[in-house]
Amino acid sequence: MTANRGRWAAWAFLAPVTGYLLAFYAWPLYRNLDLSLREYTVRSFVQGDAPFAGLGNYTKIFGDPTFGPALLHTVVFTGASLLCQFAIGMALAVFFAQHFRLSATLRGLFLVPWLLPLIVSASTWSWMLNSDSGIVNAALGAVGVDPVNWLTSPQWSLTSVIIANVWIGIPFNLVVLYSGLQAIPPEINEAAALDGAGGWQRFWRVTFPLLRPVSAITLLLGLVYTLKVFDIIWIMTRGGPTDASTTFATWSYRLSFGNLLPAFGPGAAVGNLLIVMAFVSGLIYIRIQRRQAA
Amino acid sequence: MHTSGKRWRTAGAVLLTVALTGGTGACSSSDDAPSAEAGGAYTIWDPYPQFDGTSAWATLLAKCGTDSGVTVERTGYDTSDLTNKALLAAQQGNSPDVLIVDNPVISTLAEAGVLTTTEENKLDTSAMAANLLGAGQSGGKTYGVPIGANTLALYYNKKVLADAGVDIASVKDWPSLTAALAKVKAAGKKGITFSAIGTEEGSFQFLPWYWGSGAQLTALDSPQAVSALTLWTDWLKRGYAPNSVINNTQTTSWQEFATGDYAFAENGTWQLGNAAKAGFDYGIIAVPGSSGGTAPAPTGGEFVSIPVQKSTARYATSAKLVSCLTSTDNLLATDTTLSYIAPTADVQAKQVAENAALKVWVDAVNAAKGRTGDNLGTKYPKISEPLWTAVQAALSGSKSPQEALTAAQTTAAAATK
């Protein structure tokens, strides 16, 4: 009797969080999957009678000429952003760990990109990189370098959005890695120094290995954030010119909402590919974590 | 305990990963649209969020409601949101009673079965100009009434042209326009700015040149089409137009013109208010055709439509509301507020009588064409996307105009098959 009541109470306590998870996570994911497996036209979207299309939308996007470039750009954008954000964030974290005067103030300044709304930072970058009236080309001109069409040439547009994204991502890496550094007992470094290890050696042999768990979670979270970056690219280049800076995130948006005639099915299919990519990276992370723990 | 704790963390990390990326493309199925059953209250959605409850527009809506014996509940949405909002509302069965949307959206909503035809709702469209009404017609049926129209023309800076020794009367066709741009560049000023961004806005701006060459949307790779794209590409190559046009929206393009350095800008009726504030003398000419005359520009502006309701008895009152909004007196007031050209000849004449400067716009609107007209309907979006992609490819130098348009025609033909 009491055991039974206890079980009911347990379910009652679980109900709100389960309901929340179902309503806000499971249901949208299911809807997105359902959307990607049906042949939607505007008419069937409204009537709700879209025929089941199996993997039709997926074969359509795999065969689309945009697929190859979008995949490549997604990988390059994510890889280059992560690498640069992490490397610069780590360098700054080690730098600020020295506790010199003004270090707290300077560290605070580095958080600014994080605090600005994305539309503000993206519009500002877009203005600075403008071919004709941008400050970057004006600066290049002052030192005698020919102007670069940052946002409007197929060779440069992906690089430009990566630069902006790295700038926005540095604070996150800095903050997490800095707090990771604080957790390393200073005695270990002192001991290594007494044993004759130089600064470079101490970083690679002591600090870096001890930071590995923090680095792994920073990279995983960074990966998830970067895979789905949409606003910066959309505001700066609309994924263009042609498809030169299109990633899966902007392509998915363009299919679903960027045209007078929305293509919800293929749009949802591209979105699901992103989810799968993030999911796979999550599994790899867990695998690495297990191996470290073992 | 240790192992189970780790397992939970593992599961948590995976869930987090999924949840964080989950948002893309997911479609919310809830909407807070007011129910159509509300007694005596009629809902109106419009794309004019810039007008608040005290504006002349809101007052007019309320007055039309009172005249028809009902109260009006009005919501203004951002124009880019309105299509999806209207589709979702129709899916949920709570469409507004009256919906005012951008004209090329009408064919999409009609295709979705969201809108009633004039046969069902008994609206009178006889006074409306045929070229404007075209955007709201498909398969011989009419799905709404234009409330006002705008279109594109060329603004010019009088001082820049005078300094370069260009007489605006000499600009009659493409060669004379290009010659004028060359003179302006030689005088150290900038030629022309427009918007060639990779969205519908880019196609909208390219169409006057496209149609002005004699090209048809059904053959994107015709020699005329190639000549239009070559015109733009050559302007960029020779520095008559800035490279930034590839990323310009119509607003950023206008900002370039407003610096006072540019001789010409392709922009719309809606910039008239800003032009007066620009601080320099400006004039307006219609976009010239390749060998003279006025090129047909695409029509912009909204349609008033009556979405399908469960209770068809509501249509009679909705039709009264629409007739009130599009009556001659109210059109004049509304189109003046919106900086639009009226869709009827009567009201156009009154507008020109009030402000003679509108004459060039009235002529441009009368020469204009609906994008979804020519019975293209919902094929238009599938043609427009390859078209703006081709414009971007040619202007950015990744393809020649011929290659870009051949590729566009292949894509469009496959999509509209």
Considering the domain architecture, whether residues B213 and B260 belong to the same structural domain is answered as: yes
Overall number of domains in chain B: 2
Asked if residue B4 is part of any domain, the answer here is: no
Per-residue pLDDT tens over the stretch B125-167: 888 888 888 888 888 889 999 999 989 999 999 999 999 999 9
Q: Tell me if B341 sits within 8 A of B355, measured CB to CB.
A: no
Q: Is the pLDDT of residue B12 over 50?
A: no
Give the DSSP per-residue string, B75-120: EE--HHHHHHHHHHHHHTT---SEEEEEHHHHHHHHHTT-B--HHH
CB burial of residue A67 (10 Å; 0-12, 13-18, 19+): middle
Mean pLDDT computed over B374-388: 88
Specify the amino acid at residue B58: A
d(CA A27, CA B278): 52
- 3-state SS, residue B150: strand
- 3-state SS, residue A41: coil
Place of tokens 């945009």: A66
CB-hemisphere CA count at 13 Å for A5?
2
ipTM over 0.90: no
| A28 touching chain B per CB within 8 A | yes
CB-hemisphere CA count at 13 Å for A272?
22
Q: Is the pLDDT of residue B7 over 70?
A: no
Please indicate whether, in this complex, the C-beta atoms of A285 and B13 are within 8 angstroms of each other.
yes
Average pLDDT of chain A is 88
d(CA A259, CA A12): 46
Q: Tell me if B266 sits within 8 A of B295, measured CB to CB.
A: no
| B255 touching chain A per CB within 8 A | no
Band (B24; pLDDT cuts 50, 70, 90):
very low
Which of B247, B310, B411 to probe by mutation at the A interface, max A CB count within 10 Å? B247
Considering the domain architecture, whether residues B142 and B273 belong to the same structural domain is answered as: no
Chain A residues in contact with B86 by the CB 8 A cut-off are none
Asked if residue A222 is part of any domain, the answer here is: yes
Chain B residues in contact with A220 by the CB 8 A cut-off are 13, 17
Q: What does the pLDDT read at residue B190?
A: 93
| B360 touching chain A per CB within 8 A | no
Q: What does the pLDDT read at residue B286?
A: 92
Sign of the dihedral defined by the CA atoms of residues A150, B210, B270, B379, in that order: negative
Band (B122; pLDDT cuts 50, 70, 90):
confident
Please indicate whether, in this complex, the C-beta atoms of A252 and B83 are within 8 angstroms of each other.
no
Please indicate whether, in this complex, the C-beta atoms of B396 and A154 are within 8 angstroms of each other.
yes
Per-residue pLDDT tens over the stretch A261-272: 888 889 999 999
Q: Point out the least confidently predicted range of B44-53, B256-265, B389-398.
A: B44-53
Q: What does the pLDDT read at residue B36?
A: 40
Considering the domain architecture, whether residues B206 and B258 belong to the same structural domain is answered as: yes
Please indicate whether, in this complex, the C-beta atoms of B21 and A258 are within 8 angstroms of each other.
no
Q: B108 is in which domain, residue-wise?
A: 41-146+300-367
Closest-CA residue of chain A to B13: A282
| B22 touching chain A per CB within 8 A | yes
Q: Point out the least confidently predicted range of B173-177, B229-233, B264-268, B307-311.
A: B307-311
A286: nearest CB among B10, B87, B395: B10
Q: Comparing B19 with B228, which gets the higher pLDDT?
A: B228
| B114 touching chain A per CB within 8 A | yes
Q: A230 is in which domain, residue-wise?
A: 67-245
| Pairs across A and B, CB distance < 8 A | 181
- E strands, B214-305, where? 262-268, 282-285, 302-305
| A41 touching chain B per CB within 8 A | yes
Average pLDDT of chain B is 86
State both tokens at A226.
């970067």
Q: What does the pLDDT read at residue B52?
A: 84
Q: What does the pLDDT read at residue A99?
A: 76
Partner A, chain B 366-405, Cβ-Cβ below 8 Å: 378, 380-382, 384-385, 389, 392-393, 395-398
Mean pLDDT computed over B5-17: 47
Asked if residue B348 is part of any domain, the answer here is: yes
Please indicate whether, in this complex, the C-beta atoms of A29 and B247 are within 8 angstroms of each other.
no
Mean pLDDT computed over A225-245: 89
d(CA B30, CA A62): 31
Considering the domain architecture, whether residues B52 and B166 belong to the same structural domain is answered as: no
Considering the domain architecture, whether residues B219 and B247 belong to the same structural domain is answered as: yes
Partner B, chain A 237-256, Cβ-Cβ below 8 Å: 237-244, 249, 252-253, 256
B25: nearest CB among A252, A259, A278: A252
Considering the domain architecture, whether residues B62 and B135 belong to the same structural domain is answered as: yes
Per-residue pLDDT tens over the stretch B152-162: 999 999 999 99
Q: What does the pLDDT read at residue A294?
A: 67
CATH code of residue B358: 3.40.190.10
Q: What does the pLDDT read at residue B28?
A: 37
- Enclosing H/E stretch for A165: helix A157-182
Q: What does the pLDDT read at residue B263?
A: 94
Considering the domain architecture, whether residues B306 and B397 belong to the same structural domain is answered as: no
Of A286, A18, A294, give the one whose Cα is nearest residue B8.
Answer: A286
Adjacency order of strands within the sheet including B98-102: B71-76, B41-46, B98-102, B302-305, B145-146
Secondary structure, 3-state, A62-90: HHCCCHHHHHHHHHHHHHHHHHHHHHHHH
Asked if residue B49 is part of any domain, the answer here is: yes
- E strands, A6-146, where? none
Closest-CA residue of chain B to A230: B24
d(CA A110, CA B385): 40
- Enclosing H/E stretch for B190: strand B190-193
Mean pLDDT computed over A22-37: 89
Please indicate whether, in this complex, the C-beta atoms of A46 and B113 are within 8 angstroms of each other.
yes
Asked if residue B7 is part of any domain, the answer here is: no
Of B303, B316, B311, give the one whose Cα is nearest residue B372.
Answer: B303
Per-residue pLDDT tens over the stretch B219-253: 999 999 999 999 999 999 999 999 999 999 898 89
B27: nearest CB among A31, A240, A277: A31
Mean pLDDT computed over A112-123: 88
Q: Tell me if A66 sits within 8 A of A203, measured CB to CB.
A: no
CATH code of residue A228: 1.10.3720.10
- Enclosing H/E stretch for B42: strand B41-46
Helix axes A248-257, A67-96, angle to 10 degrees: 130
First CA to last CA distance, chain A: 43
Per-residue pLDDT tens over the stretch B318-329: 999 999 988 888
Q: Tell me if B217 sits within 8 A of B301, measured CB to CB.
A: no
Band (B83; pLDDT cuts 50, 70, 90):
confident
d(CA A277, CA B18): 10
Q: What does the pLDDT read at residue A3?
A: 63
Phi, psi for B124 (deg, rounded to 5):
-100, 120
How far are the Cα atoms of B35, B37, B61, B318, B397 from residue B71, in angstroms, in the given order? Answer: 14, 13, 9, 11, 56
Asked if residue A20 is part of any domain, the answer here is: no
Q: How many CB atoms lie within 10 A of CB A25?
A: 14
d(CA A137, CA A141): 6
Asked if residue B8 is part of any domain, the answer here is: no
For B281: left if phi > 0, alpha if psi spans -120 to 50, otherwise beta; the answer is beta
Q: Is the pLDDT of residue B3 over 80?
A: no
Considering the domain architecture, whether residues B348 and B325 belong to the same structural domain is answered as: yes
d(CA B290, CA B305): 36
Residue partners of B170: CB distance under 8 A and separation at least 6: B176, B180
Asked if residue B13 is part of any domain, the answer here is: no
Asked if residue A230 is part of any domain, the answer here is: yes
Overall number of domains in chain A: 1
Chain A residues in contact with B16 by the CB 8 A cut-off are 224, 282
Please indicate whether, in this complex, the C-beta atoms of B247 and A43 are within 8 angstroms of each other.
no
d(CA B368, CA B300): 9
Asked if residue A45 is part of any domain, the answer here is: no
Considering the domain architecture, whether residues B181 and B282 belong to the same structural domain is answered as: yes
Asked if residue B128 is part of any domain, the answer here is: yes
Considering the domain architecture, whether residues B49 and B137 belong to the same structural domain is answered as: yes
Band (B19; pLDDT cuts 50, 70, 90):
very low
Chain A residues in contact with B389 by the CB 8 A cut-off are 242-243
Specify the amino acid at residue B28: S
Chain A residues in contact with B89 by the CB 8 A cut-off are none
Band (A7; pLDDT cuts 50, 70, 90):
confident
